[in-house]
Amino acid sequence: MIRGFIGALSVTLGLMAGTASAEEAFIVVQSTTSTQNSGLLDYILPGFEAETGIDVRVVAVGTGQAIRNAVNGDGDVLLVHSKAAEEQFVADGWGVERFDVMYNDFVLVGPQSDPAGVKGGSDIVAALTAVAGSEVPFASRGDDSGTHKAEMRHWNAAGIDPTGASGTWYRETGSGMGATLNVASGMGAYVLTDRATWLSFGNRGDLEVLVEGDPRLFNQYGVILVNPEKHTGVRAAAGQRFIDWLTGPDGQAAIESYMLDGQQLFFPNAK
């Protein structure tokens, strides 16, 4: 057994060494589920990795959690979609500078039978008011993600506090976008989702897009280098190189060319 222990220990140390040797050539990007689940990052990252030899390791969580992880220093670059929270992150000194990367939009999806009667509308606030009025199930992320923050802004604009109805028609899943779509699909609920996750989602059931095209449904993504002055371990040079690439012509062209079923999912708009 002692031999077993030493064997295990040496192999484990070998494993640690294995991860350490690749250390100089990778960065950790804290990002959101939408950029990963839509397949965008899998599509664009090989181009950057081939050009620079820098391996990009993506941790895909909600925007709220991604920002908290970055505050803890557990990432070199932040790629998320909640502008106000991102600007706060920079203002508090955790990030160096925020850059626009790309945008798409949110859509309200719901059951084809549309019991709240919002189909075809383009006014998200009116649609949410109708959903709340008819008390049909609405699935919310409830997880402080970028999409959740956007949803709460629209409820706020409608002058409705849905959390009072939490557990009745308002269902907070506390989960990612995909998991929440699964819940909505299962219970025939309305749900606000980013278009990219929706288009790449495989378990729609009888859900369909009911409300879209409201300018307020604009969904902007930004990228920020985690401040190396706050956390000495931040791989600032490689991280900055990634940001330069992502907001430069090559990265922007890669984002523009990503299609799913003939539809463009993200629209580059770096300045």
Partner 1 sequence: MQGFASEFNQALSLILQGDAELWAIVLLSLRVSLFAVLISAAIGMPVGAALAVARFPGRRMLIILLNALMGLPPVVVGLLVYLMLSRSGPLGVLELLYTPTAMIIAQVVLVTPIVAALTRQVVEMLAEEYAEQLRSLGVSQMASVPVLLWDARLALMTALLAGFGRAIAEVGAVIIVGGNINHVTRVMTTTIALETSKGNLALALALGAILIGIAIAVNAMVSSLTLRAEREGLRHA
Min CB(22)–partner 1 separation in Å: 9
Phi, psi angles (nearest 5°) of residue 102: -165, 170
For 81, how many CA atoms within 13 A lie in the half-sphere containing its CB?
A: 29
How many Cα atoms occupy the beta-carbon half-sphere of 109 within 13 Å?
27
Q: Does 44 bind partner 1 (CB under 8 A)?
A: no
Query: What residues contact residue 26 under an 8 Å CB cut-off, 6+ apart?
Result: 54, 55, 56, 57, 235, 238
Do 182 and 205 contact (CB within 8 A), yes or no?
no
- Please give the C-alpha separations between residue 39 and each of 52, 71, 127, 261, in angstroms, as whole numbers: 21, 26, 30, 12
Distance linking the first and last C-alpha atoms of the chain: 62
Side-chain-side CA neighbours of 72 within 13 Å: the count stands at 9
Using DSSP bridges, classify how beta strands 218-226 and 77-80 pair: parallel, antiparallel or unpaired.
Answer: antiparallel
From 32-40, 83-91, 157-165, 210-218, span contacting partner 1 (CB under 8 A): 32-40
Give the Cα separation of 71 and 89 in Å (integer).
Answer: 8
**CA 84, CA 1: separation in Å to the nearest integer?**
56
Binding positions for partner 1, 51-70, rule CB under 8 A: 57-60, 69
Which residues in 142-152 are b (16+ Cβ under 10 Å) and which e? bbbbbbbbbbb
What's the min distance (Å) between Cβ of 40 and partner 1? 13
Residues 6+ apart with CB under 8 A from 161: 155
Asked if 182 is part of the footprint of partner 1 (rule: CB under 8 A), the reply reads yes
Asked whether position 237 contacts partner 1 by CB under 8 A, the answer is no
Within 111-140, which residues bind partner 1 (CB under 8 A)? none
202 near partner 1, judged by CB under 8 A: yes
Binding residue for partner 1, selected from 32, 33, 82, 104, defined by CB under 8 A: 33
203 lines the binding site for partner 1 (CB under 8 A): yes
Q: Which of 83, 153, 216, 231 binds partner 1 (CB under 8 A)?
A: 231
Q: What is the total count of residues that contact partner 1 (CB under 8 A)?
A: 41
Nearest Cα to Cα of residue 113 among 177, 62, 187, 180? 187
Pick the piece of the chain touching partner 1 (CB under 8 A) from 33-41, 121-129, 142-150, 211-219.
Answer: 33-41
Of the two residues 2 and 167, which places its CB atom closer to partner 1 in the complex?
2
Q: Which is nearer to partner 1, 198 or 245 (CB)?
A: 198
Instruction: Establish if 50 lies at the interface with partner 1 (CB under 8 A).
Output: no
12 binds partner 1 (CB under 8 A): yes
**Which of 141, 154 has the CB closer to partner 1?**
141
State yes or no: residue 185 binds partner 1 (CB under 8 A): yes
Which residue lies nearer to partner 1 by CB, 137 or 176?
Answer: 176
> What is the nearest approach in angstroms of partner 1 to the Cβ of residue 9?
8
Contacts with partner 1 by CB under 8 A lie at 1, 4-5, 7-9, 11-12, 15-16, 19-20, 23, 28, 33, 36-37, 42, 57-60, 69, 71-74, 176-179, 181-182, 185, 200-204, 231, 233
